[in-house]
């Protein structure tokens, strides 16, 4: 590329409105063409911008995988943990700095399979963190192995004749473990997803948002579903919005209707509130409460 062309390209690149929240020195990102992850990151950045939160008091934690790269691309305090351990790290971060908003942004293989036990126990304790789980039905970064969310009969590189295991229903798992906010959207529902992220971040307690995103290179290719754009068209035609239904009715079968919406939104004392109540009961007035929304600790 000649010097003049380089100058022209530099002049062409102007300020994108998301650039304040993204580490632009790391762009272009590693995600494939027609992957839904970039759209989900845009929705989260828009939600943070619209809430007007202090970005110095926010942290993003990810595990390993395609979605695990998000922590490296957002210009917030971020940590890229080992595989499946995003939630224990986030729990420790939240307890040591209760004034910070902690967002866990990770994939289905990381959060639900390898970190499955951490997931149910963080939800059980109702720790005040927001979990965004991007579900692409497969272990995408490692070559398309079967995941605990792969629907029955869907092909993956380790189940070439079709998956025969029963998949997890993530909203049901989160709700039955004790989450106070559970929603599911696809990568196409950008405005509803942004609103859901805003509600989840503002919600005290364990909030869980599942985002169904297309994986063009592995899931769509192995199952002959076309490109990510074809999957987006499939979401457009086959998503059914049903707010407030029982999460057990939100199962996903292979290429079936996808039930989306806000399923659970309840009030429950959070982990730090329970800790303070229990210690106040034992120690009485000698106990100085820990944490709190004003950041005093």
* Contacts to other proteins by CB under 8 A: 1, 9, 12-14, 16-19, 22, 27-29, 31-39, 42-43, 46, 188, 190-191, 194, 227-229, 232-233
Q: What is the Cα gyration radius of the chain?
A: 20
Our CA angle for 155, 232, 156, nearest 5°, is 10
Structure tokens at 142: 């490692």
Q: What is the nearest approach in angstroms of other proteins to the Cβ of residue 42?
A: 6
For residue 111, CA distances in Å to 10, 65, 68, 144, 226 come to: 39, 10, 10, 17, 27
The two three-digit tokens of residue 241, written as one number: 């919005």
Residue 125 CB, nearest distance to other proteins (Å)?
A: 34
Long-range contact pairs involving 292-296 (C-beta distance under 8 Å, separation at least 24):
292/98, 293/204, 294/99, 295/98, 295/99
Residue closer to other proteins by CB (options 32, 275) is 32
- Bridge partners of residue 184, in order along the sequence: 210, 261
97 vs 233, beta carbon nearer other proteins: 233
| Least distance (Å) between residue 41 CB and other proteins | 8
Residue that is written with structure tokens 């062409």 in the block: 12
Of 97 and 192, which CB lies nearer to other proteins in the complex structure? Answer: 192
CB of residue 109 to other proteins, shortest distance in Å? 20
Q: Which of 97, 165, 157 lies closest to 128, judged by CA?
A: 97
Give 226 or 269: the residue with its C-beta nearer to other proteins.
226
**Smallest distance, Å, CB 19 to other proteins?**
8
Q: Give the nearer residue to other proteins in terms of CB position, either 180 or 217.
A: 217
Give the nearest distance from C-beta 247 to other proteins in angstroms. 27
Residue whose CB is less far from other proteins, 105 or 119: 105
DSSP annotation of 167 reads P
For residue 290, the Cα-to-chain-centroid distance in whole angstroms is 28
């Amino acid at each position: 590329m000649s010097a003049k062309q380089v100058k022209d390209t530099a002049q062409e690149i102007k300020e994108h409105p998301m650039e304040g929240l993204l580490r632009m020195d790391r762009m272009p990102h590693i995600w494939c063409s027609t992957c839904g992850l970039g759209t989900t990151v845009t929705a989260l950045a828009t939600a943070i911008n619209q809430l007007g939160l202090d970005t110095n008091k926010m942290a993003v934690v990810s595990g390993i995988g395609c979605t695990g790269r998000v922590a490296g691309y957002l210009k917030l305090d971020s940590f890229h943990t080992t595989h499946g351990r995003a939630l224990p790290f986030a729990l420790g971060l939240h307890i040591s700095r209760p004034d910070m908003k902690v967002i866990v942004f990770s994939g289905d293989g990381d959060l639900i399979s390898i970190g499955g036990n951490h997931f149910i126990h963080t939800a059980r304790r109702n720790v005040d963190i927001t979990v965004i789980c991007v579900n692409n039905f497969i272990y995408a970064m490692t070559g398309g192995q079967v995941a605990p969310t792969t629907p029955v009969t869907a092909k993956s590189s380790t189940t070439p004749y079709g998956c025969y295991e029963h998949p997890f229903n993530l909203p049901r798992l989160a709700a039955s473990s004790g989450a106070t906010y559970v929603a599911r959207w696809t990568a196409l529902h950008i405005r509803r997803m942004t609103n859901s992220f805003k509600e989840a971040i503002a919600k005290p307690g364990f909030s869980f948002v599942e985002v169904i995103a297309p994986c063009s290179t592995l899931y769509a290719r192995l199952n002959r579903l076309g490109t990510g754009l074809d999957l987006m068209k499939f979401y457009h035609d086959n998503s059914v919005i049903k707010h407030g239904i029982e999460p057990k009715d939100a199962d996903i079968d292979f290429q079936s209707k996808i039930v989306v919406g806000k399923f659970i939104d309840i009030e429950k004392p959070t982990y730090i509130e329970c800790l303070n109540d229990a210690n106040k009961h034992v120690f009485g007035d000698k106990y100085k409460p820990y944490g709190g929304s004003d950041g005093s600790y």
